[in-house]
Amino acid sequence: MDLRHLRYFVAVAEDLNFSRAAERLRIAQPALSMQIKALEEELGVQLFERTSRSVRLTHAGSTLLSEARTVLAAAERAEQQVRRAHRGMIGTLRIGMIAGAANARLAEQLRSYRSAFPDVNLSLFEFGSSVQIEQLLAERLDVGFLRPPVESNQLTVRHLDEAEVLLAVPTQHRLAKAAHISWKDFHQEPLVMVQPGLQHGYYDRFLALCEEAGARPSVGQYANDVQTVLWMISAGLGISPTTETLKETRRPGVVFRPMPPGLPKVRTCLVWKTSNHSPLLHEFLRRFGESGNGSDRKS
């Protein structure tokens, strides 16, 4: 018993007329009669009582009609879902994100994406850049918003934007109201930093410029994420370079100041495994590509 037989049966059962059903199905009436007969023989039951003037469902036929409608409806839903999945309209997309990328612009982009693809579940994970690269290579993430460098020939990188580096200091700190901050001002200042294994080279240029100026800051505290870094700063445990996107958080007890010259802007990029051909990922990249300002490249 296949779906074609069920469709033919339902058409005859609804019309109770072989001629009208054949016309609706756009097949010849003799062919339709043969298909119904083949279905009856397959099931070993009579589905219709036929006379020269009428066609009626048997009890078995009435039972099959209800079941056939359910099966055909389920088949139609499955067909629609498969086509929607092929177009990247349903499923789960696993997205990695650094805290510094979670700004108002990204929030608006995600709202726009969800509006266009309401049946796609976005699973967001806040990971540092190093962890995201590991997760992408292990195929536990589909795409990541992270900081370069990305040193893997298995990944493709799309640069999105860049942000200024600012200094985050406690409200009562001496640098919070300083007219001008120089690299020497960091001498012996306690820093609050992300754990070394999660830093991804973020502080390298800052520390190099401090050293060039003869300043030797100390490490006051380590944290596992940027939000904890900001909390520690608000508690007066140290200072830290951070990106201007985090200024949007408006954390009480933290002041953001301009850094001395010499630091490059911090770039945010979209990264995915080149071999990932998921339609979900393709549609996500297509929409985010419209707002990106760089071309894709393999790392």
- Report the CATH number at residue 286: 3.40.190.10
CATH number of the domain where residue 81 is located: 1.10.10.10
At 183-217, the pLDDT tens digits run 999 999 999 999 888 888 889 999 999 999 999 99
Instruction: Tell whether 201 and 243 lie within a shared domain.
Output: yes
**Token digits for 181?**
């901050």
pLDDT reported for residue 288: 77
Distance CA 38, CA 295 (A): 60
Instruction: Tell whether 156 and 275 lie within a shared domain.
Output: yes
CATH number of the domain where residue 249 is located: 3.40.190.290
Phi/psi zone of residue 272: left (φ > 0), alpha (ψ -120 to 50 degrees), beta?
Answer: beta
Segment holding 61, helix H or strand E: helix 59-86
Distance CA 213, CA 139 (A): 43
Instruction: Tell whether 59 and 9 lie within a shared domain.
Output: yes
Tell me which residue of 111, 114, 52, 110 sits closest to 270, measured CA to CA. 110
Instruction: Tell whether 186 and 151 lie within a shared domain.
Output: no
Distance CA 187, CA 168 (A): 16
Instruction: Tell whether 76 and 122 lie within a shared domain.
Output: no
pLDDT reported for residue 248: 77
Let me know if 295 is exposed, middle or buried by CB neighbors in 10 A (0-12, 13-18, 19+): exposed
Distance CA 283, CA 113 (A): 9
**Token digits for 130?**
């190093």
Window from 92-106, 171-185, 234-248 with minimum mean pLDDT? 92-106
Distance CA 18, CA 30 (A): 9
**Token digits for 165?**
């580096």
Give the three-class secondary structure for 273. strand
Neighbours of 218 (CB within 10 A): 11
At 118-168, the pLDDT tens digits run 989 999 998 889 999 999 999 999 999 999 889 899 999 999 888 899 999
Instruction: Tell whether 179 and 260 lie within a shared domain.
Output: yes
**Token digits for 278?**
């998921």
- Asked if 127 contacts 110 with a C-beta cutoff of 8 angstroms, the reply is no
Instruction: Tell whether 35 and 67 lie within a shared domain.
Output: yes
Instruction: Tell whether 70 and 203 lie within a shared domain.
Output: no
Of 86, 110, 132, the last residue of a domain is 86
Which of the four pLDDT bands, split at 50, 70 and 90, describes residue 87?
Answer: confident
Q: Which residue in the block uniquely carries the two structure tokens 């177009």?
A: 87
Instruction: Tell whether 171 and 245 lie within a shared domain.
Output: yes
**DSSP 8-state code for residue 249:** G
Which of the four pLDDT bands, split at 50, 70 and 90, describes residue 108?
Answer: confident
Of 52, 67, 86, the last residue of a domain is 86
Range(s) of the domain holding residue 233: 165-264
Instruction: Tell whether 169 and 260 lie within a shared domain.
Output: yes
Instruction: Tell whether 209 and 249 lie within a shared domain.
Output: yes
Of 22, 51, 86, the last residue of a domain is 86
pLDDT reported for residue 292: 43
The amino acid present at 4, given as its one-letter code, is R
Q: Does residue 290 surpass a pLDDT of 90?
A: no
- Asked if 131 contacts 203 with a C-beta cutoff of 8 angstroms, the reply is no
Instruction: Tell whether 154 and 277 lie within a shared domain.
Output: yes
Q: How many domains does the chain have?
A: 3
**DSSP 8-state code for residue 45:** S
List, in order, residues 6 or more apart from 214 with CB less than 8 Å away: 184, 187
